[in-house]
Amino acid sequence: MKYEPWKPVVDALVAALSHSEPTEADMQAVVTQLARLGDLLQAHPNDPDNASIRSYTLMSVDLPSFFVLLGSNQPTLVERAVKVIHLLLRPLNYTALDQDYREYIFQGLQAGNPETVLLGIRELSKYDPSSDPAFGPYYLPWLLKLLESDHGEVVRASQELLVRVCQQPANFENLITTDNQEIMAALMKSSTVCFRIYDLFVDIALQSSDQFERCRAETVIFQDLGQEATSDDLLRRLSALEVYYKLCETTYGYAFLQELNIFPAYTELLADPEPRLETILVQCSAVQFFARLIDYDHVDFAQLEASLGLFDLMQTLLTTSPTQDVKNAVVIALGILGLRNRGLILLNNHNKLVADFVDEYNQSDRQYALVCLQTLAKIFEPRDPITEKICHITSKVYGRIRATKAIKQWVTLAKMDMDDISPACLQVLEGMAVYEWGRKIMQRTHEFMTYLLDRNSNRNYINKKWKYSLVNILHEKDQEAASPVFENSVHQLLDKYVKEGPFYVNREAAVMLESQ
């Protein structure tokens, strides 16, 4: 007869649950047997045994008895009960759950602990908008109320479920009934929850242009969202930027923001000559918000920059702001722009901004230099395609760098094996290695060549990986070139380095290290 290990576990669980006034020992036994049962159910998700375990469990203990455990004040007991219930319910689809366990799902959504709430959301997430009938409208008010939860995972799961449910038009209409809009209006009195609801409706709206128009026409959410750009509360303006950026993912979302003339409200703050602390926070976020729009191909960034005078504003902030955080934000924004070919070309056309950035780096202290180096790494970063124009621009940027802050300094800092500035220098060097002009500078720099071929120059794990990446890129790009910069003897050494990997240490070197 086949041994069925789950039977004694379930029997022990039944025995522990059978006491009308359970002792502490009884409850500990429940916790132990729940853990074992959970492991057994989880170990056989596609095994025929799983059906047998589930069947025997439900014959011995009805599901409501498990649901009762969710009201315990013992976190470990609740956690293990949640796991077992989820695994027992795994074969049931949304329709079956809604029909047979609606009362318990309601209780779960209103529970005082996040584990039970998440169980309810997880079971409702079995809903398939492409094949299931309309989602139960009676769940929607509770899911909306969960957006004010203090538990981030509950908020995220509720929002994701609502977004997916609204892929079916009938469900969207149920979400925006008068009663639900009144619930949302009450929730939106909290600034935090208000922006969660904005985020929810933006996610729903971005499903399609039709859905976007539906959201605009049938709710006041987008009208309210547009007004946040001119709010007297600068922190609300700050929070709105992330929602606006998400809207810009689509042509219709970006067009909506242009239609509302959102962007000038932020450039006015960038131009504030005597900013308060809140204004400084918005300046830092706004300058990077505008730069990140370069990633959206449907955004005509050249037209946007010209209409707002963005580069002039960035240049003024970079050279005159008394706040280091603002300068850092502008430098980071330059890196975001410089990472894209069209962004780098536009920056090159605004020559003074790039020149001022390099001047800032030339005069920087260590901490500011780190931010500048990270931006230089993005400007030099390998890209496809590398055009003659990009080669010229990157070479010109390097040519502006003071000799004491250029390649020899980067090699010195790379060898120091620090956790922050050493990787930044190695990334800049890797970017240089892509270009013929960069490899020529490297080839004639004795300090670099000595470092390049020295296996023991770095001991830090991360820096070893970056050094290896530099060697690999330089070796590959130079060999691909019509006229290689490095001699064949150097390539033989680089080839050996690449084949041995980043962490190779020869035996002689290892003995020397151990003796130190």
Share the mean pLDDT of the chain. 93
Q: Is the pLDDT of residue 326 over 80?
A: yes
Residue 511 has pLDDT above 60, yes or no: no
Rounded mean pLDDT, 340-349: 97
Taking residue 268's Cβ as centre, other Cβ atoms within 10 Å add up to 12
In this predicted model, what pLDDT tens digit does every residue of 443-483 receive, in sequence order?
Answer: 999 999 999 999 889 999 999 999 999 999 999 999 999 99
d(CA 439, CA 430) in angstroms, rounded, equals 10
CB 160 within 8 Å of CB 147 = no
45: pLDDT confidence band, cut at 50, 70 and 90?
Answer: low
Domain boundaries, the chain: 1-91
The answer to whether the beta carbons of residues 42 and 34 sit under 8 Å apart is no
The arithmetic mean of pLDDT across residues 310-326, rounded, is: 97
Q: Identify which of 249, 292, 251, 287 has the alpha carbon closest to the alpha carbon of residue 266.
A: 287
Checking if the pLDDT of 300 tops 80, the result is yes
| pLDDT for res 353 | 97
| Pairwise pLDDT comparison (353 vs 53), residue with the higher score | 353
Residue 422 has what pLDDT? 97
What is the C-alpha to C-alpha distance for residues 516 and 510, in angstroms, rounded to an integer? 10
Q: Is the pLDDT of residue 509 over 50?
A: no
**Confidence check: pLDDT of 204 > 50:** yes
Whether the pLDDT of residue 19 is over 80: the answer is no
Contact 478, 485 (CB under 8 A): yes
Which of 64-73, 141-150, 315-324 has the weakest average pLDDT?
Answer: 64-73
pLDDT, position 49: 64
158 close to 121: Cβ distance less than 8 angstroms: yes
pLDDT band, residue 514 (cuts 50/70/90): very low
Task: Report the range of poorest mean pLDDT among 56-65, 264-273, 481-490.
Answer: 56-65
**Token representation of residue 279:** 């204004």
Query: Model confidence at 513, in pLDDT bands (50, 70, 90)?
Result: very low
Residue 47, pLDDT > 70, answer no
More confident residue, 221 or 506: 221
Residues 197/188, Cβ–Cβ less than 8 Å? yes
Encode pLDDT of 212-239 as tens digits: 999 999 999 999 999 999 999 999 999 9
Largest Cα separation within the chain, whole Å, is 87
- Percent of the chain beyond pLDDT 90? 81
pLDDT tops 50 at residue 383: yes
Per-residue model confidence (pLDDT) at position 110: 94
* DSSP string of 415-476, one letter each residue: HTT-SSHHHHHHHHHHHHHTSHHHHHHHHT-HHHHHHHT-TTS--SHHHHHHHHHHHHHHHH
**For the residues of 217-279, what is the DSSP string, one character each?**
HH-SHHHHHHHGGG-S-HHHHHHHHHHHHHHTTSHHHHHHHHHTT-HHHHHHHHT-SS--HHH
pLDDT tens-place string over residues 403-452: 999 999 999 999 999 999 999 999 999 999 999 999 999 999 999 999 99
Helices 324-338 and 310-320: crossing angle in degrees, nearest 10, is 140
Q: Which residue reads 């995972």 in tokens?
A: 153
Q: What is the percent of the chain with per-residue pLDDT over 70, rounded to a whole number?
A: 96
Question: What is the model's pLDDT at position 50?
Answer: 75
**The two three-digit tokens of residue 365, written as one number:** 């202290």
Which residues fall within 8 angstroms of residue 515, CB to CB, at 6 or more apart?
A: none
pLDDT at 2: 62
pLDDT (average), residues 15-27: 82
